A and B are shown apart, each in its own frame.
Chain A
Amino acid sequence: MKTYYGKSVFNGIAIGKTSIYQKREQQVKRVKTEDTEKEKKRYYAATEQATEELQVLYEKALKEAGEVNAAIFEVHQMMLQDDDYKESVENIIESQQVNAEYAVAATGDNFSNMFAAMDDEYMRGRAADVKDISERLLGILNGNTRAGMDTEEPVIILADDLAPSETVQMNKDMVLSFVTVHGSVNSHTAILARTMGIPALISTDITLDDTVNGKLAIVDGSKGVVYIDPDEDTLVMMKEKQKKEQEQKELLQALKGKADITLDGKEIKLYANIGNNKDLAAVIQNDAGGIGLFRSEFLYLEKDNYPTEEEQFAVYKTVAETMAGKQVIIRTLDIGADKQCGYFQIEKEDNPAMGYRAIRICLDRPEIFKTQLRALFRASAYGNLAIMYPIITSVWEVKKIKEIVEEVKKELEEQGIDFGSPSQGIMIETPAAVMISQELAREVDFFSIGTNDLTQYTLAIDRQNTKLDSFYDAHHPAVLSMIRMVIENAHKEGIWAGICGELGADLDLTQEFLAMGIDELSVSPGRILPIRKIILETNVGELKS
């Protein structure tokens, strides 16, 4: 058995024979010609034929993968007919007096290099699109068909990389999974695999030769692993896992659309955690009741300078509108510690986990904080937004935040800019905040317990340090009593309390949290439905007695 690792773009298990997808790279010879008119005509005819082929692909993709994914073939048609591309081909044919094939190949290389050199990951990925249309033209000019997949049984496709047109031309009934050596998470192949719901790996460390072709293999999308020639134990284990996943999938589909109410009638806010607005699709697919933790850091980490108010506003507004009235809790900037951002110019610290991070930066540098607050308050006018502040240890911090919020509101009012009135809560993730939670509860609208940091600060254990594994207890009674204390204090002051850390998604603890009286659980989108199942089957009253 050989094991290879890649980056997973879709979970699931596929078991079957492998087949290496042979790309028939078009051979291009540079041939001198006098009759440049003829070469140009051949190029025009090839463009026309390619456009027609793409129209067929567009219609096929429209049926199989929906409008959004099909649109790439319309874009390919436009690329083919782009004046700059056309002029470049014509110019090479005329000035160098060469054949159409050579002119197309050279133009294709130049244009794809232009994209490959751009400093934007998405645009770099588009180099593959340019190559794809040029290859199509060359195939037509050379009079040969492009690539083939001769198979009579469904297979796991192994490929160097797959162009969108190659993916869509495959007979879907014959594809169990895609495994590619190259490709990016944003590539259309990845997007199509997700839409089709089949396991797929990219950036896999596999060498495509006869030792892996036509072999029995298993792709485990959840782990990002492909096993070639699996041994008996692995095969049995994976078959079992595949069966379970299938059952789970069917079961969970049945839970979609159900309200999160326990047997004895307590409604739980079952929300999703996300780190980027690209995750919104998963939130909706998994039927989350709202977003309990929207990590706003990505806005800062993806840039080389502070994101502007407008940039932030646009993102928050999109999320608020997409969630259509469901609650969206956005956590203000939480950088520092393990999330560093160069342009903040944070000095090196001996102990960053206990250092200059999160709300401490915001209170120390209110101009950064205010930009974010303005964007958040403005976006609140477009949906049900809430704001949550991280790493609170003292009441004065909350009072200071409130002062700054008042200044922001006043400024917006004076400038005549619309804004909403989001509810405001804090993260409880330090033992200090736990101990004074009753006082804090008087100042805010809700609590969300961040169990990852709370556990680390309570047990004095860095979870990244594997040497400490034997000392680390995720279910440590100290942490669980703290959670109970926070919930009780929240309820005494009439506010709600939730959990947005990893413990919130721990199925072994869900019933215990419900018994403690938890009001909200915010978990990664894939955990929503398994937790919903437990909520629907639990009688909190019985648990307590």
Chain B
Amino acid sequence: MKLLHHDLHFLTGAYALDALEGPERERFEHHLHRCQSCSNEVRGLRETSTRLAFAVSMPPPPPMRERVLARASQTRQLPPVTEARHEVQVPLQPRARWMPRLAMGLAAAGLAVVIVLGVALAGTQHRLDVARAQENTVLAVLSARDARIVTASTNVGGSATVVVSSSLRRIVFTATGLPALPGNRVYQLWLMGPPETRSAGLLSQPSAGQTAPVLAGGLVSGDRVGVTVEPAGGTARPTTPPIVVIPLSE
């Protein structure tokens, strides 16, 4: 834990320059809330980056001024935030309900943490809405009466965890400890059924070894879940042997 904290602290510079992305940025933002020295440092480094912006100042095309001022005069402004914190707390309620049932398995998979971070730290309103909508579906799978957890090791190291609900015909997939891939390769998730193999999406770049949860639907009886390494952007059919195949039937 010490090491992790230490590691995160070194990201202040990259964060101040907007050079952190995705789950890693969210993890760091989460950390910032609890680390006063980090947020002080980020503040100073952000002010420093502003100087870099002023150093490349350039007069904009003159007509832009009129356009911006005209549009501003016709644009309603946002009210100040008063109860923002309350809003973020809302998703905690449903989470509490599924916690007892799956808490242990999920904690082991690190899945709960990822979902919580995804929502609480989504940042902009749009990202928050998207994250919430997705979280609700993820929660539905996790809290389904027939939800089950299946975990398997991959043949390249690390492990994959699937939470499956047959009644909802959905799965939630996450993996930990997968080796990082070169920029032109991705991990792709598949539903491999007796009728056919369908793509179930791409895994995010692992952050601290953990991929963000992927939700996939349209499960049919006999489906297995597989992961392959594919060219960036993914493919329509697997082109390499799977690094893991997980049967879903009981």
Partners in one complex: no
Residues of A within 8 A of B (CB): none
Residues of B within 8 A of A (CB): none
